[in-house]
């Protein structure tokens, strides 16, 4: 199901709307003609901001998605680029939507592992391709 206009819950704060606007147009690494929003990998209700922490929950397209870690890296990279390092970022896979959700979520929240992954030129290129031209759009 592809739809560009997911409704925003009325309870979303201005900062949560900014976070959503930042990530909604990230291109899916496997289906680059579609965004994470269009594929319902990311959704407004998966975004929350608590104190100095940005939290994003996402749902891979299938339970055995081999690119779930890459999707999480794309989200993390986009948030760091748009909001800087002063925010703590927590990214997790929605419970029950991936066979290895806990392990992948743990990896995505390990700053050292994420930094090391981004030093890999091939991964860096994939992340940059997925997150380029994703200007904030309300």
In this prediction, residues 80-101 reach a mean pLDDT of 94
CATH code where residue 94 lies? 3.30.300.130
- Asked whether residue 1 is assigned to any structural domain, the reply reads no
Q: How many domains does the chain have?
A: 1
- Residue 93 contacts residue 59 (beta carbons within 8 Å): yes
Sign for the pseudo-dihedral over CA of 76, 111, 31, 101 = negative
In a domain, 92, yes or no: yes
**pLDDT(7) > 90:** no
First-to-last alpha carbon distance for the chain, in angstroms, is 20
Res. 3 pLDDT band, cuts 50 70 90: low
Q: Is residue 6 part of a domain?
A: no
Question: Do the domain assignments include residue 4?
Answer: no
Residue 138 domain-assigned (yes or no): no
The answer to whether residue 43 sits within a structural domain is yes
Query: In terms of C-beta density within 10 A (0-12 exposed, 13-18 middle, 19 or more buried), how is residue 13 classed?
Result: exposed
Does residue 28 register a pLDDT over 60?
yes
Give which of 47, 33, 44 is closest to 2, Cα–Cα: 33
Name the phi and psi angles at 56, rounded to 5: -130, 125
Q: What is the per-residue pLDDT for 85?
A: 85
Parent domain of 117: 14-131
**Residue 86 falls within a domain, yes or no?**
yes
Residue 89 lies in a domain: yes
């Amino acid at each position: 199901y592809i739809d560009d206009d997911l409704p925003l819950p009325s309870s979303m704060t201005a900062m949560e709307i900014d976070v959503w606007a930042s990530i909604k147009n990230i291109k899916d690494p496997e289906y680059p003609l579609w965004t994470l929003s269009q594929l319902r990998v990311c959704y407004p209700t998966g975004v929350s901001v608590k104190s100095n922490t940005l939290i994003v929950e996402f749902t891979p397209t299938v339970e055995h998605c081999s690119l779930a870690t890459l999707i999480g890296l794309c989200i993390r990279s986009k948030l760091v680029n748009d909001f800087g390092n002063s925010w703590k970022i927590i990214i997790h896979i929605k419970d029950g939507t991936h066979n290895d959700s806990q392990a992948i979520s743990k990896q995505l929240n390990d700053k050292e592992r994420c930094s090391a992954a981004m030093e890999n030129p091939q991964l860096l290129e994939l992340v940059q391709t997925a997150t380029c031209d994703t200007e904030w759009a309300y």
